[in-house]
Amino acid sequence: MTIDSLSRKLATLASTNAAAALTMATTANQRIASIPLFSGLPNTSFDSSITAIVTGGNAAAGVGGASYVCDDLATSALAADNPALCKMSADGRYWRLAPVNGAIAAEQCGAVPNDTTMGTANVAALRAALSYVSQVCNGGVVQCGPGLFTLDAAALGSDGLAIPSSVVIRGQRGSTVWAPSSTPADHMVTITGANDVAIEDIELRGTVLFANTSRAALRRVKVVGRLSGTVQFAETGIAVASYFGGSGQTYQDATGSIDGGDFGHTMAGSVMTTTMSGGTLGVTQQARYVVSDFIPLNAAMRYVVEFLPGFLGGAGAAAPMITLYDSAKAPLPSGQSNTPTNLFIGNNESQNGTISAAIMNAAYMKIAVGSFRNYTTAIGLAATFDLSKIIIYSASNDLATQGLTASPGDAAQIQLSSCTDMIIDDCDFRMVNRSCVKLISCTSCSITRSRVRYSYQGFTDDGGKGNRITDNDIDLRLATSGGDLIGNKLLRLRGLGGTGSNGGDYSRNRIQGASWGIEFLPNNPAYRNTASHNVIDAEFAGMSLTTGDWVVANNRISLCSQGLFGIELPGADSVNAISATATGNVIQWRDFSGYLGFGISATCVGKVAVQGGFIRAPVVIQNAGTNVTGEMVIDGTVGEFGSTALLGRDSAISARFAALRPYVLCYPYGTSASGTVIDFKPSGNANPLSLRIDHLVPAAASITQIGNCSNVSLTMPDIRPAGYVTSQYIRIDWPTNAPANVTLKDCNFINPPADMGRSQWCSLGSIVPQTGSKVVMQGNVWGLQKVPAPTGTYNRSILSGDPLLSGYISSAAIGTIAAGGSWTTTLTAFGACTTDRGYDVQPGTPGALAGLIVQCWGSSDDNVTVQITNPAGTARTVGTLSLWVNGLRPT
């Protein structure tokens, strides 16, 4: 074949193919028709070659345009079940909605945004879309465009919008909103028994229920609750300082009125200063208060009181007192079972059996500030109170009428019941007047990377197994009328909470404004949960983790000045041992107001280990409870205290503090704490105390008050006393019904106060120890000198080690000692006993006893005999001189 022939053949073939392609394109175009609205389909006929149509809208132009196909699935049955998605044309054929990449749009089913009259139609359209995607497409996506889709509450009924399995509802983030026409009694959306379901990129203004669901998800969803607004507190503008200093100002001692003349109190601007002297009050526990005039309130309102940082200064403050009165100015019970009954304490957990801690029904209140002195503290301490830092708020809007009998946290905006492997991720919760999410008996579910704002309660996990609530930002602060944000002191609600959970991980959350940051009660000692790396800024409790085995690590907790617990764990169980480990936690009160509060509070039935970390609290660590067994172990913690560093009652304690020092010395009146750095008084003497403090600044208080303990070991190699105290630095009282062992080792007082003698370093009390008791001393130093034996009523023979046994006589009239004769006297040397030998006796005049034989021995408890013998053949005249006697007990 020639080249020309080949060229002509190829040209002919190309022309034929082009014609065929044009014919195919024409045929295809003839098979797809276009009509304005899908609602007009019943009035339209099509050529039999057409199998697909395109609409410009569903019922209105530009809204819900879609493609429809005529195939084997488009039947009269489908049209009967889904009239919004399948219709018969005028030529008798049926046409159904054609999904695009497995997705259909709600608008294609008749949903219309931004039209409040379409609530009933929108519910029907969404139900049709959900049914169609599930039954016809075997799963897929229902998309919603931008705008507010009103859903009629009556049309939703008790079932709401039921989402079937394998269906995803997806909106446009930030612009798609589902909202009920009114607040329904039941859920707006329900997912019951359906699996592989997801809701994404939609704002939901109603409640949602997931029940018996697996592999469901809520992603990038905004959830808006039922609070009417962000402002829930009103600033009263009450100037508290103006009610002090006038004719209505009174004085009291916490039990009754006094004339105010036996303690110091001055007012300069808004700052009140109070002092107490030792001459008036002796060495008893006492408080003295300056009391304001009546402060008027509205008995119909609820109030909370805030003590801002800077309220308290100086040293020796008592807890401020708030008392309530009715319209006749008679005492009004606060409902908190306090003494007196009208005393209101802002950090109480509840009142009158409610979940509130608010001032209610009061027509007047008084505020009292003052000083407290314990029998172990210094005299003359001055406490200052800046009364302008006391702010009184009233509850407003929803919070003013919120029911208080049942917790609003018991209900939920999003509830998961008996769900497995569900994910809530990257969601926003706003204005929720209940729990934002509540997990009930769920397994392996997670809430992550979500945010909560202006709401009552965050997330709860009840009866869960292996659930994870991590990496969330939960801010429960509410706005004031002045534009500030404050924590919710009025309601006892939580950032995270729950009961009966096991294997849970509650970590890396940021929580602000909750009255209780995290509170979980597993209620089973075998249940093990983790709470770590959380950052919590709470009102009354950072974490309450009880009745379970907890690992609590590297949390950062900040509490308001009225805080009660930094971390509370693990709780008591009457049968089983419970353990918990708290490692590397940083716990700080934002400031002290004088109220009682505990950095870590534990009731030890099993073992509680506190490892490292830093705690600044009125009481750094408390071992709470009575008549329990178990052990608390503290290792390497640094503490700053107001009243006490370690408060122990029952269970053994083995503690090593890296450092303890005062922050603002304050003494909550009425507590059982003694005001010393270490207070340990178990009810059962079998519970031992082993304590080492590497660095200690006791400030203006004694170091220890220890009683009824059969085994005490104290080591404090670096004690830096800051001032005079009225009692011994170390005080240990013997148990009355059992022998005890006391070991005092390397207690080193560096630069002790000049006005305190060495004998004040330690007292063993006035109780006579039981037979078999022992005291061991080793390496204890006052300044640069060995310390004497502890004072107390005990047989000195039970003391061993290296106490300094010293005595002194200023004018020993020795006179003349005959040849071969001797002179004898008895000196007081505290701690001496009949077994002591080898004393060093030195005269006040050097060399005065040269050539004489000087001997000294213990002749009785606290007494030594000094004998000076003249071995020469002639008499020796010594005259009158002073004698020092020093000895150490052989170990």
List, as one string, the DSSP characters of 831-873.
T--TT----EEEESSTTTTTTSEEEEEEEETTEEEEEEE--SS
Q: Considering only CA atoms, which of 855, 846, 845, 783 is closest in space to residue 822?
A: 855
Whether residue 537 contacts residue 513, with contact meaning beta carbons closer than 8 Å, is answered with yes
Calpha distance 564→617 (Å, rounded): 9
Q: What pLDDT score does 13 carry?
A: 38
Q: What pLDDT score does 278 carry?
A: 56
Calpha distance 620→598 (Å, rounded): 6
Q: What pLDDT score does 572 carry?
A: 56
Q: Considering only CA atoms, which of 439, 480, 484 is closest in space to residue 460?
A: 439
- Tallying the residues shown for the chain, one arrives at 891
Q: Give the start-end residues of each E strand in 387-523.
A: 390-395, 412-417, 423-425, 428-430, 435-440, 446-448, 451-453, 457-462, 468-470, 473-475, 478-480, 485-486, 494-499, 510-512, 516-521
Cα pseudo-dihedral 473, 479, 482, 484, rounded to 10: -20
Look-up of token digits 């303690």: 263
The residues facing 610 across adjacent strands are 582, 634
Q: What pLDDT score does 30 carry?
A: 45
Q: What pLDDT score does 526 carry?
A: 84
Got the DSSP string for 287-311? Answer: EEEEEPPPEE--TTSEEEEEE-TTS
How high does pLDDT run on average in the chain? 89
Encoded amino acid at 552, one letter:
V
Report residue 496 as tokens: 């995270």
Q: Considering only CA atoms, which of 276, 290, 288 is closest in space to residue 379?
A: 276
Look-up of token digits 């009282």: 733
Calpha distance 761→747 (Å, rounded): 9
Whether residue 316 contacts residue 371, with contact meaning beta carbons closer than 8 Å, is answered with yes
Q: How far is CA 373 from CA 319, 664, 676, in A?
A: 12, 14, 11
Q: What are phi and psi of 734, to 5 degrees?
A: -65, 145
Q: What pLDDT score does 185 carry?
A: 66
Whether residue 294 contacts residue 324, with contact meaning beta carbons closer than 8 Å, is answered with no
Task: Provide the pairing of β-strand 822-828 with 863-869.
Answer: antiparallel
Which residues of the chain fall short of a pLDDT of 70?
Answer: 1-30, 185, 278-285, 348-354, 375-376, 571-578, 604-605, 626-628, 669-674, 891
Question: According to the 3-state scheme, what is the secondary structure of 263-279?
Answer: CEEEEECCEEEEECCHH
Q: Considering only CA atoms, which of 415, 462, 449, 416 is closest in space to residue 434?
A: 415
Q: Give the start-end residues of each E strand in 147-301.
A: 147-151, 161-162, 167-170, 176-180, 189-192, 198-200, 203-204, 208-211, 217-219, 222-224, 231-235, 250-252, 264-268, 271-275, 286-291, 295-296
Calpha distance 553→519 (Å, rounded): 15
Count of CB atoms within 10 A of residue 49's CB?
A: 11
DSSP conformational letter for 412: E
Contacts of 850 (CB under 8 A, 6+ apart): none
Q: What H or E segment, with its residue span, contains residue 79?
A: helix 76-81
Calpha distance 499→868 (Å, rounded): 79
Encoded amino acid at 142, one letter:
V
Calpha distance 224→431 (Å, rounded): 6
Calpha distance 58→818 (Å, rounded): 135
The residues facing 825 across adjacent strands are 866
Report residue 350 as tokens: 């509840």
Look-up of token digits 């390497």: 636
DSSP conformational letter for 787: -
Encoded amino acid at 309, one letter:
P
The b/e string for 416-445 (b: 16+ C-beta within 10 A; e otherwise) is bbbbbebbbbbbbbbbbbbbbbbbbebbbb
The residues facing 470 across adjacent strands are 448
Calpha distance 160→156 (Å, rounded): 4
Q: What pLDDT score does 136 carry?
A: 87
Cα pseudo-dihedral 718, 724, 725, 727, rounded to 10: 90
Encoded amino acid at 306, one letter:
E
DSSP conformational letter for 240: G
Radius of gyration, alpha carbons of the chain: 40
Calpha distance 247→17 (Å, rounded): 111
Is the link from the previous residue into 739 a cis peptide, with omega within 30 of 0? no
Report residue 763 as tokens: 């007292």
242 exposure class (CB count in 10 Å sphere: 0-12, 13-18, 19+): middle
Calpha distance 368→287 (Å, rounded): 11
